[in-house]
Amino acid sequence: MKLKMEKLKTILGKHEINEFEIIELGSDITDAKTQIVASGYGSQHHIASVVFENEKGKYVLGIRNANAKFKSGALKKFSNSKKLKMVSPDVLAKLSQIAGSVCPLTIDPKEVIVVIDESVAVMSDIVCGTGTIENAIKLSRQDFEKVMGAKYVRVAEVQYVRNENELDRYLSGVAPSASEVHLGNYLGAMKQFVDFQNTPGTENYYFLADYHAINTVHEGSSLRSNTQNVMLDYLGAGVDPEKSVFYIESQIPEIFEMTEVLNNAVTLGEMKRMHGYKDKLADPNQDENSINMGLFNYPILMAADILLFEPDFIPVGEDQAQHVEICRDMARSFNSRYGDILKIPELYVKEATGRVIGTDGERKMSKSIGNILGIFSDDNVIKKQIMAITTDPARIKVDDPGDPDKNPIFYYLEIIGHDKSKIEEYRERYRKGTIGDVEFKKEFFEIYREYISPMRDRRAKYAKDMDYVNDMVKENGKKARDVAMGVMDRVRTAIGVYRV
């Protein structure tokens, strides 16, 4: 093992490569998959190096991204072969290599035909084998190219195959357009964030989309105040900065560079079909010339927010599902033009709380309509909101029988998870007219206050230590940007940005 590592370092030294990392993997590595997990770097940073033998007895070294799969026909074409078969461990040994940890950096190009797939050309950093099971090496793609004399061809297809030990990544964001969080926000988004971060096998990226908010918030002081308040609201709701990557959109400049790239992957006709734009046009007080480009391009910025972080799933409300679909279409359009560069995420719509009904009993809960139940508002404000809940209009007198299905309080009791037997008891009393609406609302106020009390207490604790909160968001932003920079580097290479 020592001799192999010395040989590798000697080769790197000849190319004046001094910046690299030798990764200790341990002794439990059995194959390439366990090597990826043990390295601590995701499969998007690993390459797979496979040695084949053709019908002429020539060896072919095929190199691809670990998430890609070789296309047999293309590999044969570019290696000038009619037949290819993987070589045996004995043949690998002749090349001073072992199965599962082939080191392309130490293979003499005079001994093999080297074919490197385009999926490697768009990687920022490269992790590969060292010829020993116990170690891997990480170096920049540019330094990898110095050694390999890289000439890229398309011989593989990226599939983003995840190892069973890799985590499912969830990503979601919220625009700090308003400073008051309500029950619809919590059940439609916040609670999902908390549920996902506490689910084994997941990693979670959550952000405050402050640039989205400038569509409607036109005062700098208001945007700053809203951002801080919504940040505290999400922390109060249970988003844990130790379990999730919680950051602010404006911390990641690559998002705005990616937005410009994606402007060229979508058509005017597609953008005009977006419901946000169509809803504005439906307003008799609006015309096409008065709609700002921020609103019109909202789905493009949203796509950049998503695609730069390579999530597997996007938890989204029903009203945002169309925007995620156009994001997926943009990624497909980009990939069809430049190759398999962008990962296409899946939607995750939790239908039960995708649309929380407001206190009017009809429309979606919304601050602009004024039909909300607050969470972090003063008790007096929340009590006033509860007392304004629409109830069964057929109940004229206190003891008139009522229809529980016409009183939203029963719906709220169910979606906040109140005791089912207690809910049924209330239903029976309501049907018989033995509980009046005012009494019922007062009892619901006490139940609701108990439900939101832990969140309010947690928020107050964070608000007393803003230095910690700001430092935490800054550090989380660095983690998020590391991911975005890697993807953006691949995108720049793919579209042909000139490197100096």
Average pLDDT, the chain: 87
Q: Is the domain of 430 the same as that of 298?
A: no
Is 247 in contact with 480 (CB distance < 8 Å)? yes
Q: Domain residues for 197?
A: 168-356+465-495
Q: Is residue 367 part of a domain?
A: no
DSSP string, 169-234: EEEEEE--S-S--BHHHIIIIIHHHHHHHTSTTEEEEEEE-HHHHTTT---HHHHHHHHHHHHHHH
Q: Is residue 417 part of a domain?
A: yes
Helix (H) or strand (E) holding 24, with range, is strand 21-24
pLDDT for position 215: 84
pLDDT at position 1 over 70:
no
pLDDT digits (tens, 9 = 90+) for 82-106: 999 999 999 998 888 988 889 999 9
Q: Is residue 365 part of a domain?
A: no
Mean pLDDT computed over 418-438: 93
pLDDT for position 280: 60
Sheet architecture: strand order including 21-24: 21-24, 135-140, 125-129
pLDDT for position 276: 62
Sheet architecture: strand order including 202-208: 245-248, 202-208, 168-174, 313-315, 346-348
Confidence class for position 31, pLDDT limits 50, 70, 90: low
pLDDT for position 315: 82
137 SS3 class: strand
φ, ψ dihedrals at 97, nearest 5°? -125, 165
Lowest mean pLDDT among 121-130, 385-394, 451-460: 121-130
End residue of a domain, out of 126, 158, 190:
158
β-strands 21-24, 135-140 pairing: antiparallel
152 SS3 class: strand
Domain count, the chain: 3
Mean pLDDT computed over 416-434: 93
pLDDT digits (tens, 9 = 90+) for 247-305: 999 999 999 999 999 998 887 777 777 656 556 656 666 666 666 676 677 889 999 99
Is 157 in contact with 69 (CB distance < 8 Å)? yes
- Give the CATH number of the domain where residue 347 resides: 3.40.50.620
pLDDT for position 286: 65
- State the alpha helices, DSSP H only, in 1-40: 2-14, 32-39
- Give the whole-angstrom CA distance, residue 459 versus residue 462: 5
312 SS3 class: coil
pLDDT at position 162 over 60:
no
Q: Is the domain of 485 the same as that of 451?
A: no
pLDDT at position 370 over 60:
yes
Confidence class for position 409, pLDDT limits 50, 70, 90: very high
Is 117 in contact with 155 (CB distance < 8 Å)? yes
